[in-house]
Structure 1
């Protein structure tokens, strides 16, 4: 029975997990540490933790479970240091890193059988960071992957699942190697592609000054993930090196194939290339959260005139629907609405659709 939990790192992910655990199991005593003391104090005020630890490694002899909610490189360093810390026999340690093989290898190397390490990756996030962006429902319907180390038992896994029950996440067990290959395909490599597209556009801007203005539409949307934390993504790529090197080879081979189709003007194969991509993409689940945070955008077809933003936000304010962002679209190619509204949840977006249709005749679209 878990009575005491220690959180190392109280940002968006650690804070949201702590809030979820406290909301579901208020009797569990949650202790927290963050290198930023203000973050820790805010976590206490928000009710995410019961106690603030003044140091990274306080007396942990009574702690049943430890969550390491730090970037991948720091997680590895903390695991190495934990071998010299007095811990409770059978304590369960888990993390939230985006790569798993190296972290679990480190746990197998430095933590013995008295410590049960279970790699974890909650596949949800936000475009905001820090404890103030944390929410107890952040992981609802998201995939939460667990990758146990060699000393873990079925009972240990069940204990972690019980603690995470309040997240309402879809918990999946995988090997660390399977995790890194899959996330490489659907998360890590897409970030590389997005950053490369942005870099290419920047190199063209010197000779074609209109590039930045024209990129304000669809290009800006499909490359959103390039705005993610640069140092975090540097570390992820370095720690998932082998799967990504394989993906680079496969990607370059595929691009060379498409390049030849264009060079040979092979219209039939080019059509097939786009048809197959469309078919697979259209079949992707819509209601589930994936490895990359979802964007709950709503496009509204309105005339671009002074006061239109205040008109639309006024409707939403009447119904107490919160927005995270609002923007006038300058280029409308393949976009059906001149106004883009962004929401935190799918539910907020659905409420906004009903609200706008209730107060106006403006058409709304989801792309």
Structure 2
């Protein structure tokens, strides 16, 4: 597989994704940053045209405004039975270009991942595919199955229908959020100070505005400017803004209520939207309250961008910041960057990442005791992560059993061993020297 534009953020994401699924991946980018290929564990394609001609799959992951030009340049070079696929957020232009320039024996597939390169995996993510009839019989089921097995929800539509819906799903949404951001700038509004007065809905809205503003402005400009359907949506949106503002200026209460009710009727059943937004709001509140009640206790925090897990005693919690005593150092984390691990997730992390220590305890068990039942009792102890019988023999007519317990490094080893020995003695066992 060759990914053209593989040195970009999305190209890198998919280079890693397909490499982990068995593809021999090479990447090319006009920046010629070979160090990126080395870091990803893939090969850099120094001779682009030669690479295009020999690969099974060629993926185009370049800016929207040059996608069709790149397709025109490389598609004619592809070999029989190979697949040409693009990842841009528009589909009509790229799929038309692929049909025009790719040989008839080369399969083509339009694709639009509805997510950014910061997500860790495809679980729950939407992935749009726009196959062209009779041009993707072999590769379409392969790609679709691979994405679905990785947790993606696949939507199959035609290119024109895709662009019409995306003009609202992305075009209108981004336009509205960016305009809110530029409006805050225009009126010199103190966003940071406003968080002192925020409601949960305002909090979430600000996060989405900041999310859009903090990303690649070039990409968002292309989404607005390259889809001809977007301008129609802009015109309707601006007209509605003007009309609603005029209603407010006139203090036309009935007009405002009627407009809002009419929009709600067109929207459909608003109850699911209310429940979903309540769920989002309640999750934010519940996580914060849980953190507050956990001050002084051990907890695990996942940094959602770096992927690093911090484990330690929770020292302080504010709406913006968490301070964690991690070993001998204090770690300060921004609230918006972390996700609280559940008790099970924390346990799994410890099992995977912490050093394990083994201690052997030899005892003479009572004559009528079952060593296996004693083992089950030990296995239920929360301070150990493993227990087994490693030796059994008879001493002076009495049964001697050696139990090996496994203790994680975050526990006081001697104390845990002493506690286990106390349990064994409490059920009638006699410690051996």
TM-score in terms of structure 2 length: 0.60
1:32–1:52: 8 Å Cα contact kept in structure 2?
yes
How many Å separate the matches in 2 of 1:113 and 1:284? Answer: 49
Partner of 1:89: 80
Q: Secondary structure of 1:238's partner? A: helix
Matched, 1:178 2:161: yes
The change in CA–CA distance for 1:177 and 1:53 in structure 2 (over 3 A counts) is: same
Matched, 1:142 2:125: yes
How many Å separate the matches in 2 of 1:172 and 1:164? Answer: 11
Deviates more, 1:167-176 or 1:259-268: 259-268
Partner of 1:255: 241
Partner of 1:280: 270
Deviates more, 1:111-120 or 1:269-278: 269-278
1:113–1:151: 8 Å Cα contact kept in structure 2?
no
Q: Mind listing any 5+ residue stretches in structure 2 that lack a counterpart? A: 307-316, 322-332, 347-433
How many Å separate the matches in 1 of 2:246 and 2:220? Answer: 32
Partner of 1:31: 26
1:93–1:117: 8 Å Cα contact kept in structure 2?
yes
Deviations 1:3-62 (A, max 9, x none): xx11112333222223222323x2x32222233444x43444443x2x221133334333
Matched, 1:14 2:11: yes
Question: Could you say what the CA RMSD is over the residues aligned between the two structures, in angstroms?
Answer: 4.0
TM-score in terms of structure 1 length: 0.69
1:7–1:69: 8 Å Cα contact kept in structure 2?
yes
2:130–2:156: 8 Å Cα contact kept in structure 1?
yes
1:63 corresponds, among 52, 55, 59, to 55
Which is bigger in relative contact order (C-alpha 8 A, separation at least 6)? 1
Partner of 2:179: 196
2:97 corresponds, among 81, 106, 114, to 106
The Cα of 1:114 is off from its aligned counterpart by: 2.4
Pairing 1:346-357 to 2, within 5 Å after superposition: 348-349=339-340, 351=342
Deviations 1:200-255 (A, max 9, x none): 222222xxx656633785363241213321111122222112x1122123223433
1:296–1:343: 8 Å Cα contact kept in structure 2?
no
Structure with larger Rg: 2
**Size of the alignment, in residue pairs?**
308
User: Higher strand proportion, which one?
Assistant: 2
How many Å separate the matches in 2 of 1:106 and 1:22? Answer: 27
Matched, 1:213 2:193: yes
